[in-house]
Structures are given as C-alpha cells and as structure tokens.
Amino acid sequence: MSTHSTRLAARFMVAPSVLVLFIWMIVPLAMTAYFSFRLYRLLSPDRTGWVGFNNYVWFFNSPDFWLALTNTLLLVGGVLVITVVLGILIALLIDQPVKGQGVLRILVIAPFFVMPPVAASIWENLFMHPQNGLFAALARGLGSQPILFLEQYPLPSVIGIVAWEWLPFATLIFVTALQSLSSEQLEAAEMDGAGALNRFRFIILPHMTAR
C-alpha cells in the first residue's frame, strides 16, 4: 500500500470521531447564537419573541459590560504575569541540586489537587480572614491593623488566588523546558566568562520561550 493510500485510510478511520466532536461543539454554539436573538427573562418567562440585535445593542451600551471586560482583562493579565514570573523563578530553583528539592516540588504541585471552590475557601478563611487569618495575625504582630482583602482589594485578592492555583501548571512547563536544555551549553558559556544573569538572559530564557 502506498503512502498516499495509508494517509487516506487513516483519515477515513479518524473521520467519525472528528464528526462527533464537531457536532458536540457546533450544537451548543448554534443554540447559543439562536437564543441570543430572542427575548427571554427569568422574571417574566411568558414574554418571549424574536428581538434580533436588540440584545447586543443593550449589551454593549450597558456600563456593566465594559466594567466586566476591564476586570476580566486585568484578571487574566495579572494571573499571566504572576504565573510566568514566579513559575520561571521556582523552576530555576527546582532545577538546582539543593537539599529539600522533593519537598519543594510537592509544595509547588500541591495546588493542583485543590478544587477552585476549596482554594477560594482556604484563602478566605485561613489567610485573608480579618480575625483568624494568617495575614491578620502577622499584621497584629507587626502592630498594624488587619487588612480586609476581599472588601478593600477584591480584584487583587482574586488574582492572587487564581495565580496560586495555576502556578504549578506554569512551573511544570518551565521545569520541563529547563530539563531539556543541554548542560554542556551552559558549562561552555560559564567557561567563556558569562555570568549567571547573562546565561539566563541569552541561553535559558530563549530556550524556555522557544518551548
């Protein structure tokens, strides 16, 4: 059998699963688009009908939409910055032959096993609680008043919680990239007089971004 025939046979065998996946994705999308052009209110379910683009006009004219969009962009951007920066630093630390490396890896991966509602509850009650939280105890120990994180700084608090939950994922990716880096290249750069910062900037960082 030729290579072309083998490829056609493989595509034919994969076609049913691709078709099922396409239907699985397109049906909810089509239903969502259909209902977006109709009038439906939970408080008045008897009021229905076709409204066209009026829902979209009301949506984009609502100030809450732009506020929600801004908060979403700040949330995503803040989480990305924190997870990338801390992920690289923790990956560099884990990649070094230091004592307690196994314990450090367990602590880094631990948030993976925590569900998002449980993670929010942990941070709210154990860390950010104004009376019994760890941060409140540290603040009182330093002679200052506890900070009401979720009341005074809700968005940064949520960014911190989400970043803590996704930090293991970014760290594992960067650790994998570091382990695929040739140690001979780093040793050659060190012998040529390149400092730690230059090795990170010109060798380690480009290798991690390329992965």
The pTM of this model reads 0.71
Find tokens 């076609």 and name the residue: 15
What does the DSSP assignment read for 42-79? SS-TT--EE-TTHHHHHHHH-HHHHHHHHHHHHHHHHH
Over pLDDT 90: what percentage of the chain?
Answer: 18
Higher-pLDDT residue of 184 and 88 is 88
Over pLDDT 70: what percentage of the chain?
Answer: 91
> Letter for the amino acid at 195?
G
Q: Where in the chain is the domain with CATH 1.10.3720.10?
A: 62-179
Whether the pLDDT of residue 210 is over 90: the answer is: no
pLDDT value, residue 102 = 67
Whether the pLDDT of residue 26 is over 60: the answer is: yes
Find tokens 């209110």 and name the residue: 41
Whether the pLDDT of residue 5 is over 70: the answer is: no
Q: How many CA atoms within 13 Å lie on the side-chain side of 174?
A: 23
Whether the pLDDT of residue 89 is over 70: the answer is: yes
- Collapsing DSSP to helix, strand or coil, 81 comes out as helix
pLDDT value, residue 113 = 80
Which CATH number is 62-179's, of 1.10.540.10, 1.10.3720.10, 2.60.40.420, 3.40.50.300? Answer: 1.10.3720.10
What does the DSSP assignment read for 121-176? HHIIIIIS-TTTSHHHHHHHHTTSPPP-HHHHSHHHHHHHHHHHHHHHHHHHHHHH
pLDDT tier at 76, thresholds 50, 70, 90:
very high
- Going from the C-alpha of 9 to that of each of 6, 96, 144, 155, the distances in angstroms are 5, 48, 71, 52
Whether the pLDDT of residue 112 is over 80: the answer is: no
Higher-pLDDT residue of 99 and 56 is 56
pLDDT value, residue 170 = 87
Whether the pLDDT of residue 98 is over 80: the answer is: no
Model confidence over 56-72: pLDDT tens digits? 898 889 888 899 999 99
Name the most confidently modeled range: 35-44, 45-54, 105-114, 142-151.
142-151
